[in-house]
Structure 1
Amino acid sequence: MKPYRLLTDFLAPLINLYLRIRQQRGREDQDRFQERLGIASLPRPAGKLVWCHAASVGEMMSVMTLLQALRARHEEWTILLTTGTVTSAQLIAKRLPEGVLHQYVPVDRWSYVTHFLDHWQPDLALWIESELWPNMLTALKKRNVPAALLNGRMSERSYRRWRFIKNGAEKMLSVFSLGLAQTGTEANRFASLGLKNVSAIGNLKYAATPLPCDENALLKLRTEIGERPVWLMASTHSGEEEIALRVHAKLARKRKNLLTIIVPRHPERGHEIAKIITKTGLSFAQRSKKEEITSATSLYLADTMGELGLFYRLTKTVCLAGSFTWGGHNPIEPVQLGCAVIFGPRMDNFSVMADDILGHRAAQQVDNEEELIEALETHMEHPEESRRLIEAAKPWLKEKQSVLEETLLLLDPFFMTAKKAKA
């Protein structure tokens, strides 16, 4: 991958300019920006260290349970977790297990990567899902750091792109002596690109710890809502708030006291969404402004960070957004918390998971806005329909959770080998 290294060195001024623009727009952490340049803000603890890289929020959430299990299984090891987004860092700050450190992953320039590895000197590297950085992976191989690809994911689009530079992909993937893919199709794609010793054991998201919740906040909201009918539109993207508003308007014709809760995927859009709701004339409360739900409140805009677990516990009927205008979100999170899950036609990013849960009749898919209205109407008129989905989801989820123990068993030899090498 020498051409890539030379290219990133040549483009250094543009890369630095791009980073500064991101910083000005709030997409980089002002206080910890040096970490993106490979300059650590924490000392390296003495002893063995395993580095786990999870690109952003989704990958991070899928790996948290694994990190806790690794700490319990190999308590003498320190774990370094890196992510690349401000949102992931904000969330991890509240959930970091004991013995786990967090840093931002450096941008993939050779000098930044070198600074990072010189400081942290990992004894083992665990790469989560699909973010493959040539300079970093080349540097790991050059330093003979054992590495494994976990929860490997490769879309058809990514596969086609990597096939054009198959020799480069093969060199990059050669750093991994173990590959654990989410599905057989993805395992075959990785194998075709040159990854040795790859197999499919399932998705770590199935074994993820349920999203956390502030119990006092939950009690307060339950008191405010009382016995009112309520439904949740979770993780909305642009254009889906309008869908939720139209659905609310039609459902509220029969249920004057209906409460609709909207949780945007990106809370910083709260002001923009509030303007959209204001135009409808509906009474709403905005959580970021600490406004309470009253009997006159028709909509609750929950534009805060890291509280989705609270709202999944608050409502039992959930429409998983992102599935009307984007590519869907993780259906496991609401299922874990006992929700009846409905999602739209676009679950491209979770197609295998969506097909699986639908095959077990543990969730419901709708093709459009009108079908969503019909589905919600059914769930409100016949609560047993919600209970059916919730009960069907329990054995489906339990069956999948063995992926965590399988992953731990397959990683044990890596820890043992690294321990002997260090000794």
Structure 2
Amino acid sequence: MSDGLASLAIASYGWAGIAAYPLTGPLLAFRAAKGKEDRSRRLERFGYPAVDRPQGPLVWLHAASVGETLAVVPLMRELRRRDINVLLTTGTVTSAEIARYRLKDEVLHQYVPLDVKPAVRRFLDYWRPDVALSVESEIWPTTLMELHKRHIPQILVNARISDRSFERWQRHQAIAEALLGKLSLVIAQSDVDAERYRDLGAWPVIVSGNIKVDSDAPPCDPVVLDRYKLQIGDRKTWAAISTFEGEEKIATMVHRALRAHTGLLTVVVPRHPERSDEIEAMMVERGMKVARRTRNDPITPDTDVLLGDTIGEMGLYLRLAEIAFVGRSLTAEGGQNPLEPAMLGCAVLSGPQVGNFRESYQRLVRNGNARIVRDAEMLAKAVHFLMTNDLARHKMIDAGMESMQEMRGALTATMKGLEPYINPLTVQARLEPRIVSQG
């Protein structure tokens, strides 16, 4: 595709967005009815603000969903330490709740505007960001072009690109170059990610590592943790976290295969808690007694499964186990991030489909913290082996802790890359009076 055709394709995307704009209201209402949008904050999706813009420099940071939001918590806190205002936008209800739980009033939060000109322009006119940061792989053509027109630097941080996304971009190389060439900087997680972004037309590109390694371990309520540990007693416990459809059935199969031998408790934390009713029904049909966190059910000696159906409590669930299977890796593709279980002292198990986190898994497998399993039978054998072999389990846990120490430093590298854009804002922020404008 020629440069002219690429420009036409991008323009056509914008025209299509304007044509579809009248339909977005009913669409968002439908999504709100399904619990996928916050009904009370739908106007934010059209670029209307819900809070005042503070005076002084402001960095707009967009993180699509939960994983991306958690990954950049250290970066947001570093920006706030420099007295720079941070506006965080996210696209899902779950990520908004995570932001509120983890960051409270440290940053401003809004839902990201729809990628159509009226919404994006309204959003940018009001918030007037000095720098725009996107996390991992978020590229929205209309937003990107509008930022470029306003000469607002756009930087992709903690950037990664999956095999599938890379192949898709390569099929539209001219469009990729037209869009990614508008970025002021790409800060990639790995050498592979960096090379791929360069191949697609981004420049300059530097490598930082994964910022999430520099995060604090996810917190939990110590009172709740102590209560559950008292109820569990000396029972063997393992967790299946960030599970996708089909993986809860596999966790149930593993539990049924092992409970007679080990008397174990299984903790299941679905990636999408709204599926918990159907997950519980499936488990009950298979003879499981299920305790749900949202009901505050006690864990009794005959409880088979603790269903972790809450948001923001991964720190609790992982502290109850020393073995964690990380989902989206057996019945779905891409994998989920294994760093949280590793930093909280869990031996990590995963299916083979972990393309989105290949480098993290390669490091953990190489260092001895993670093992890859092919199917339910292999998972059951791995869980049984680790539960009954304290030496092997503790060796894997120690390897994870060492890996986390080796991988730290991404935040420092990221801030170094951002210095030309952030340092002037730091000076400005510390010279200006701190008052709130009235919009």
**Same-fold call, TM > 0.5?**
yes
Distance 2:288 2:167 in 1: 47
Give the alignment partner of residue 335 of structure 1, picking from 330, 334, 342. Answer: 342
Tell me if the contact between 1:261 and 1:300 (Cα under 8 Å) persists in the aligned partners: yes
Q: Deviations over 1:98-123 (max 9, x none)?
A: 54111111000000000000000001
Tell me if the contact between 1:151 and 1:180 (Cα under 8 Å) persists in the aligned partners: yes
Which has the higher mean CA deviation after the structures are superposed, 259-268 or 156-165?
Answer: 156-165
Matched, 1:413 2:420: yes
Matched, 1:289 2:295: yes
Distance 1:344 1:264 in 2: 16
Equivalent residue number for residue 56 of structure 1:
65
Equivalent residue number for residue 229 of structure 1:
236
Corresponding residue SS for 2:71 = helix
Distance 1:407 1:97 in 2: 24
Corresponding residue SS for 2:353 = coil
Equivalent residue number for residue 402 of structure 2:
395
Distance 1:323 1:166, change over 3 A: closer
The code of the aligned residue for 1:366 comes to: V
Equivalent residue number for residue 5 of structure 2:
none
Greater relative contact order (CA < 8 Å, ≥ 6 in sequence): 2
The code of the aligned residue for 2:293 comes to: R
Tell me if the contact between 2:56 and 2:428 (Cα under 8 Å) persists in the aligned partners: no
Tell me if the contact between 1:345 and 1:368 (Cα under 8 Å) persists in the aligned partners: no
Give the alignment partner of residue 318 of structure 1, picking from 315, 324, 328. Answer: 324
Q: Report how far residue 156 of structure 1 moved.
A: 2.9
Matched, 1:40 2:49: yes
Distance 1:160 1:246, change over 3 A: closer
Distance 2:423 2:213 in 1: 27
Distance 1:386 1:107, change over 3 A: same
Give the alignment partner of residue 204 of structure 1, picking from 193, 206, 211. Answer: 211
Q: Report how far residue 295 of structure 1 moved.
A: 1.4
Tell me if the contact between 1:78 and 1:99 (Cα under 8 Å) persists in the aligned partners: no
Corresponding residue SS for 1:406 = helix
Corresponding residue SS for 1:415 = helix
TM-score if structure 1 supplies the norm length?
Answer: 0.95
Which has the higher mean CA deviation after the structures are superposed, 52-61 or 89-98?
Answer: 89-98
Tell me if the contact between 1:68 and 1:97 (Cα under 8 Å) persists in the aligned partners: no
Equivalent residue number for residue 172 of structure 1:
179
Equivalent residue number for residue 277 of structure 1:
283
Distance 2:197 2:322 in 1: 39
Corresponding residue SS for 2:406 = helix
Distance 1:103 1:260, change over 3 A: same
Q: Report how far residue 329 of structure 1 moved.
A: 1.1
Q: Deviations over 1:8-27 (max 9, x none)?
A: 11222344443232122221
The code of the aligned residue for 1:128 comes to: V
Give the alignment partner of residue 148 of structure 1, picking from 135, 152, 155. Answer: 155
Distance 1:167 1:258 in 2: 55
Q: Report how far residue 294 of structure 1 moved.
A: 1.0
Q: Deviations over 1:320-377 (max 9, x none)?
A: 2222111321110101111111112222222222122111112111111111121111
Which has the higher mean CA deviation after the structures are superposed, 403-412 or 348-357?
Answer: 348-357
Give the alignment partner of residue 377 of structure 2, picking from 350, 361, 370. Answer: 370
Matched, 1:219 2:226: yes
Matched, 1:28 2:34: no
Matched, 1:239 2:249: no
Distance 1:214 1:419, change over 3 A: closer
Q: Deviations over 1:380-413 (max 9, x none)?
A: 2111111101111222111111111111112122
Equivalent residue number for residue 71 of structure 1:
80
Equivalent pairs, count: 420
Corresponding residue SS for 2:27 = helix
Distance 1:291 1:9 in 2: 49
% identity of equivalent residues: 39
TM-score if structure 2 supplies the norm length?
Answer: 0.91
Distance 1:161 1:246 in 2: 36
Equivalent residue number for residue 6 of structure 2:
none
The code of the aligned residue for 1:179 comes to: V
Q: Report how far residue 420 of structure 1 moved.
A: 7.4
Tell me if the contact between 1:122 and 1:145 (Cα under 8 Å) persists in the aligned partners: yes
The code of the aligned residue for 1:267 comes to: P
Q: Deviations over 1:258-287 (max 9, x none)?
A: 211211111111111111111122322222
Tell me if the contact between 1:181 and 1:200 (Cα under 8 Å) persists in the aligned partners: yes
Q: Deviations over 1:134-179 (max 9, x none)?
A: 1111111111112211111222322233334433332322332211
Equivalent residue number for residue 128 of structure 2:
121
Unaligned runs of 5+ in 2: 1-9, 432-439
Matched, 1:194 2:201: yes
Equivalent residue number for residue 192 of structure 2:
185
Distance 1:374 1:419 in 2: 54
Which has the higher mean CA deviation after the structures are superposed, 117-126 or 273-282?
Answer: 273-282
The code of the aligned residue for 2:144 comes to: L
Tell me if the contact between 2:57 and 2:129 (Cα under 8 Å) persists in the aligned partners: yes
